Chain A
Amino acid sequence: MSGATTIRAEEICKSFSDEKILDNLSISIDEGEILAIIGPSGVGKTTLLKILNGLMIPDRGEVWLMDKRLEFKKNSDLEARRKMALLSQKPYPLNKTVSDNVAYPLRLRDEDDIEGRVEEALEHVNLLEFSDRMARTLSSGELQRMAFARATVFEPDVLLLDEFTAHLDPYNISVLEDAVKWYVDEKNSTAVMVTHNLFQAERISSSTAFLFDGKIIERNKTKNIFEDPDDERTQAFVNGEMIF
């Protein structure tokens, strides 16, 4: 069900202490698409997400959200940043109740019907009964579910997910994966998901990109990437072999 391009990165380069992490990388993601980015540790998957979100400045290259080019300046990118959400592996709970945490992005935007929208967001991740609890008393699975509600309550067009279910138990993984699929489908939004969990990529993504050596080596429908990849390095990676 893919449509127009929602977010795209063009010729992105990023180095840390002279080590090239992203090398002339270009990628675009369409409306309604869940793209999984897979690849070995340290190849720059998280760096790419942070650049897409405008949190990290690339050495070279451009990021476009719909027809708006990010300038990588905090306040001039505010409008674009407010259409995206980044859910990290270890979300930071603000020192507030669960409902105040979820209300936080709505209050930043001075929006209406905060209470109703918070309730609805918490309901989707089975957390309504925890509304009045302090967020810091939640377990890691509950905290990640709260963070998902907080990241989606303002209905972003792009959802950036960075290992969002790492170290969670099967119940929480299942709730969160269902929530991502529901959100992208219902709101016709876009999700970019960095994951080490290849089974997860197979379960929920519509397409998958293999990132290696600073570049997207191969990108295709998820089924093709796992069953019949074109590149031998992709094949080796999905088969669990060491690649160089």
Chain B
Amino acid sequence: MITEILHITLLSIFVSVSATILASIMAVPLGTILGLKKFRGKEIIRTVTYTLYGFPPVVAGLIIYLMLSREGPLGSLNLLFTPTSMILAQMVLVFPIVTGLTMSSVSDIAKDVKETAMTLGADRWQTAKTVLNEARVGVISAIMVGFGRAIAEVGAVIMVGGNIRWHTRVLTTAIVLETRRGNFAYALILGGILLSVALFVFFILKRYQDKGVKM
């Protein structure tokens, strides 16, 4: 049983950390650009992004399911009911959150920081780096919220992962299963582990939030 709990925990961490990192690699630069640039249609993008914060996980799961199912456009990759499909589903949920919150924290300070950096001799790249560094508290918070959404997610991963023992079962789907079986003590232990994992990851991210980058 302990080996199984360990497997479930490590798979949960692997899926949610991967989804958060991959989504953030795209979302942080996009959010930074959206926060820095003034362009027509920016308000529409902002509204759409905020709306997607509440994107229903089962809809995300359904979309990924249809894409990866045998008849879907990516069916030949045979990814359905694998950890990769769970990562994809969580990325869909994390991406708008990290993009939107990064955009907000960059917009708040962009004008002052840009002007300061430029008057002190920063080029375009150095200016963007300075803005991102100054917005780091907000950006890391955005990543934390994104990770929180991913690790706590159940609807989408159960649809595309299938909750297969030793293969795609993660903490949230295991909790649902054990509760249905009436194994409340086991479900509670899994719940405690889930909270501890979240706490551990937030603790690591918080350290980056405080430190920043020397430049």
Contacts and interface: CB of A to CB of B under 8 A. Distances in A.
Interface of A: 53, 55, 74-75, 78, 81-82, 84-86, 88, 91-92, 94-96, 100, 104-105, 107-109, 150-151, 154
A129 to B, nearest CB: 22
B123 interface: yes
Contacts of B113: 92, 94
Contacts of B117: 108
B51 interface: no
Contacts of B165: none
A88 B112 CA distance: 11
B121 A82 contact: yes
Contact of A78 (B123, B130, B215): B123
A21 to B, nearest CB: 19
Interface string B100-115: 0000000000001101
Nearest to B115: A55
Contacts of A105: 120-121
A85 B134 contact: no
A86 B119 CA distance: 6
A92 B121 contact: no
B58 interface: no
B212 A78 contact: no
A86 B117 CA distance: 11
B58 to A, nearest CB: 40
Interface in B123-144: 123-124, 126-127, 130, 133-134, 136-137
Nearest to A84: B119
Nearest to B214: A100
B119 A107 contact: no
A154 B121 contact: yes
Given A104-B215, A107-B215, A108-B126, A95 B119 contact: no
A92 B116 contact: yes
A100 B211 CA distance: 13
B152 interface: no
A82 B118 CA distance: 9
Closest 9 CB pairs of A and B: A82-B121, A86-B119, A105-B120, A92-B112, A92-B116, A108-B121, A108-B122, A78-B123, A74-B124
B134 A108 contact: no
A53 B119 contact: yes
Contacts of B115: 55, 88, 92
A119 B119 CA distance: 21
A101 B202 CA distance: 28
Contacts of B122: 108
B31 to A, nearest CB: 18
A85 B120 contact: yes
Nearest to B109: A92
Given A92-B116, A104-B215, 16 more contacts: A74-B127, A78-B123, A81-B121, A84-B119, A92-B112, A94-B113, A94-B116, A94-B130, A95-B134, A95-B212, A104-B120, A108-B117, A108-B120, A108-B215, A109-B121, A151-B120
Nearest to B215: A107
